[in-house]
Chain A
């Protein structure tokens, strides 16, 4: 069987913000078409940094990143958006003074003609966005803004959707909604790479996950494998849920 080119292939990355200090140390990641990939791990492990390295927002000092077989290492973010990489940051991810529809329009900024077609796609997954299209994004709650941010990212018809802690700051019911939304988006055919602090929920929905530790992809496996691995529970997941 012919091997399909992975959508995202990050190989042996070293990257960091301050000169001389690497947050990522020989970190690698593969995301195949249609997969939901989770990135979990302790604080300071480099989860967000890995995402930013793929999106050209941190200096990659060694190693390469490929998108659908094309090298994109250290390419600027605006060029990556044109190539189909969508990024949803953790905070400040919507324009509060614009309406939901205008926010979504910002999403297709580079290809405005595709608005109608993409708007239909996004509102199929998130009907609320269609129903409330004229509402200002600033008046939405945190969970609702997350939805708008994700919808906007989907407007570019991305090859891959990068999510930075989509559940951060949300109450339990909104977190569950956010995770289910991600699952839905993935089911519609979008490859997703998701950094999460809520490791348990992340592993429940993802196909495969990487556990980062000190900037390196220390462990990997399917979501189920990692969830049920006692070593993972001890080191990374904690056993509060069982108490």
Chain B
């Protein structure tokens, strides 16, 4: 499997057979702190890639840089061949790269269905002069409403259609943000901790949705801490620590990597914490 994705052996910053995103020499420095220092990163097209690593590793900063929500100190990257460095965030979204946020941005003052409608990028009614000629946008609005309802049903939010997003629980808002991101049929969906705060029993169906995206040809890049999820659906894993890419490869291989286990997974990853004696635990973690 590794041979079909990377050119050569998997290693940090390795080239991919068919990359959708290629980044070079990306750095971001905050005051004295180097948050991101990535020499080379390539995201394979049409597959699901997980970006993992301890907190403070630079994952969200990397997300922000790639999607135009932050400006790098140095770096160049291309998306689908188009140069994206320095392109503003809304233009990046229009080019087909949609992201979600770690702190959910479901718009509380809008209803669920209006949140969804906002996700569409081709609505003529959103242009000022066309907006007061209703016949121009009425049909498009009906079309996207249908699509929105379909997505809401898939994400089990259809009952909440008319509610203000503020009335949804934290996990439901995350689902709304994800569903909304799909409205514009993006080429690359970047999910920032999509499972955080979501009921484990719902996680299963969410993973099915993400797999469904892959079947549609959409590329997925997500940041997560839930290793079960990562193991279950990702085709490729990139590990970041202290701003750098420290490991890459298929999930099973990466999770056996001793450096990764040390810094990230922990020695107890597959044990039952109830069985662990406190004194021995204290020895191990100190």
Contacts and interface: CB of A to CB of B under 8 A. Distances in A.
A171 B53 contact: yes
B266 A43 contact: no
B211 interface: no
A170 B265 CA distance: 11
B278 A172 contact: no
Nearest to B274: A204
Interface residues of A, number: 43
A187 to B, nearest CB: 6
Interface stretch (B14-22, B141-149, B225-233): B225-233
Interface string B202-224: 11100100000000000000000
B199 interface: yes
A230 interface: no
B264 A171 contact: yes
Contacts of A141: 54-56
A180 B264 CA distance: 16
A179 B268 CA distance: 11
A176 B95 CA distance: 40
B8 interface: no
Contacts of A197: 196-197
Contact of B265 (A168, A173, A184, A239): A173
Interface in A155-179: 168-177, 179
A235 B201 contact: yes
Contact of B266 (A21, A44, A177, A240): A177
Contact of A180 (B170, B172, B278): B278
B285 interface: yes
B285 A240 contact: no
B263 interface: yes
A182 to B, nearest CB: 10
Nearest to B275: A204
B200 A238 contact: yes
Contacts of A171: 52-55, 225, 264
B54 A236 contact: no
A243 B176 CA distance: 27
**Which residue, of A21, A224, A239, has the highest number of chain B Cβ atoms within 10 A?**
A239
Contacts of B193: 169
Contact of B282 (A21, A172, A184, A234): A184
B266 A169 contact: no
A201 interface: yes
Contacts of A168: 196-197
B232 A223 contact: no
Contacts of B52: 171
A44 B285 contact: no
Contacts of B226: 240
B201 A172 contact: no
B197 A176 contact: no
B54 A179 contact: no
A170 B54 CA distance: 8
A172 B265 CA distance: 5
Contact of B229 (A143, A199, A240): A240
Nearest to A46: B169
Interface string B178-193: 0000000000000001
Interface of B: 52-56, 167-172, 193, 196-204, 207, 225-229, 232, 263-269, 272-274, 276, 278, 281-282, 285-286
Interface of A: 21, 41-45, 127-128, 141-143, 168-177, 179-180, 183-184, 187, 197, 199-201, 204-205, 223-224, 234-241, 243
Given A44-B171, A183-B273, 12 more contacts: A42-B199, A43-B170, A143-B55, A171-B54, A180-B278, A199-B200, A204-B273, A237-B201, A238-B199, A238-B202, A240-B200, A240-B204
21 contacts: A21-B167, A41-B199, A43-B170, A43-B171, A43-B197, A43-B198, A127-B286, A171-B52, A172-B266, A173-B54, A173-B263, A179-B273, A180-B282, A180-B285, A183-B273, A184-B281, A197-B196, A204-B272, A205-B273, A238-B199, A238-B203
